């Protein structure tokens, strides 16, 4: 008899709650789990645990809570701090998915005798005859698709991952299922921003939890001309225009940083566009290596549209050559490669 036991990550929100309901309807044996990641975060508090446990109780399924605060600090928060200390802009959800939801949780699933893990992400897994392997794909949710933040999961795990929300097109469909089934979380608001920075003030978080402190320096243009003063490199992001505190004959944008000189480099908008970029920390899901130049589509931010490009791998790095120059490509963010709806893989954008 096929093992239908599945460990479901539950945040206490409507997506993971409806996922539990759907798994049960589809004949799986779901076990709910909530990971304690960071005290006081938007996804780890007493209400979160109670909401998840109450949903599990109403569906008649077990629920476990695991304390993962040390691992979360090591793999997610320390990476977040290190990125800002080195003038990069991190995406902590990607690290959390790799190490916590699809790392720690899979280990627990095996201990509990589960053959699968599941989450409420909007993404899809299926077996591809064309590629002869299990693949990660975009969901049907359009702008809410979350395949971008899943590129870094282990490829051997894909066949053991279920995304119950893969075929839904919008959140209202999910809420309607919750209402029809009397789930108390049906109208619970979505969690936004970074879970461990619930007030959205990442600058204050960095100052309170690391050695990063305000340190004034120069704002310069590409020629090194001093145009003003900044309040600390971590306070600025590539592409930023507002809040620079400088007046100039044309609008200026943050182009990058010189960490050694403690400088913010600014320039005109056309200087933000780049046609080539290098990525590292590669994770390929669809192939084992890229042996020759490939035509793909690339996303360089969660909210950006895909752009046509060619990619070439050289050892542990991939070079992306875009058909059209792309705006505000940011070191620390992820570049994710797609072939149609399938995630080929991705990597972290390197400082140029």
Let me know if 68 is a catalytic residue. no
Nearest to 14 by CA among 5, 22, 6, 26: 22
Which residues are CB-contacts of 175 (< 8 A; sequence separation ≥ 6)? 14, 186, 187
Which residues are CB-contacts of 117 (< 8 A; sequence separation ≥ 6)? 6, 7, 8, 9, 101, 102, 105, 106, 109, 157, 160, 161, 162
Angle, helices 14-25 vs 46-59, to 10°: value is 20
Say if residue 22 is exposed, middle or buried (CB neighbours under 10 Å; 0-12, 13-18, 19+): buried
Q: Would you tell me how many other CB atoms lie within 10 Å of the CB of residue 269?
A: 15
Nearest to 277 by CA among 253, 306, 254, 300: 300
Q: Would you tell me how many other CB atoms lie within 10 Å of the CB of residue 319?
A: 15
Distances (CA, A) of 282 to 199, 207, 302, 316, 352: 32, 31, 17, 7, 17
Q: Which residue has the tokens 């005290």?
A: 39
H-assigned helices in the chain: 14-25, 46-59, 69-72, 78-85, 92-96, 105-111, 171-180, 202-209
Residue from 68, 83, 93, 96 carrying the catalytic annotation:
96
Which residues are CB-contacts of 181 (< 8 A; sequence separation ≥ 6)? 21
Question: Active-site positions?
Answer: 96, 195
């Amino acid at each position: 008899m096929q093992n239908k036991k599945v460990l479901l990550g539950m945040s206490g929100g409507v997506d993971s709650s409806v996922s539990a309901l759907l798994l049960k309807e589809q004949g799986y044996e779901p076990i709910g789990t909530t990971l304690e990641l960071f005290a006081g975060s938007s996804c780890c508090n007493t209400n979160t645990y109670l909401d998840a446990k109450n949903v599990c109780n109403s569906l008649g399924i077990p629920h476990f809570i695991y304390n993962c605060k040390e691992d979360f600090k090591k793999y997610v928060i320390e990476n977040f701090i290190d990125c800002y200390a080195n003038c990069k802009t991190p995406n902590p959800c990607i690290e959390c998915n790799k190490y916590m939801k699809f790392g720690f949780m899979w280990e627990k699933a095996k201990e509990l005798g589960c053959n699968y893990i599941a989450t409420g992400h909007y993404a899809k897994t299926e077996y591809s005859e064309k590629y002869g392997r299990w693949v990660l794909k975009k969901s049907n949710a359009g702008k809410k698709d979350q395949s971008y933040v899943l590129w870094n999961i282990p490829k051997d795990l894909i066949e053991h991952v279920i995304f119950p929300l893969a075929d839904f097109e919008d959140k209202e469909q999910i809420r309607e299922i919750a209402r029809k089934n009397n789930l108390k979380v049906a109208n619970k608001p979505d969690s936004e921003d970074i879970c461990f920075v619930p007030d959205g003030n990442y600058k204050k978080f960095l100052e309170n939890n690391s050695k990063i402190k305000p340190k004034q320096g120069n704002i310069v243009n590409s020629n090194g001309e001093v145009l003003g003063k900044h309040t600390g490199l971590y306070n600025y992001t590539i592409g930023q225009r507002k809040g620079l505190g400088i007046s100039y004959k044309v609008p200026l944008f943050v182009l990058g940083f010189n960490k050694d000189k403690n400088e913010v480099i600014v320039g005109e908008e056309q200087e933000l566009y780049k046609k080539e970029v290098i990525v590292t920390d590669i994770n390929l899901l669809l192939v084992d290596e890229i042996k020759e130049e490939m035509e793909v589509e690339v996303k360089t931010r969660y909210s950006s549209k895909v752009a046509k490009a060619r990619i070439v791998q050289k050892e542990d790095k991939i070079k992306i050559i875009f058909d059209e120059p792309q705006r505000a490509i940011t070191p620390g963010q992820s570049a994710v490669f797609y072939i149609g709806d399938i995630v080929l893989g991705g990597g972290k954008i390197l400082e140029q």
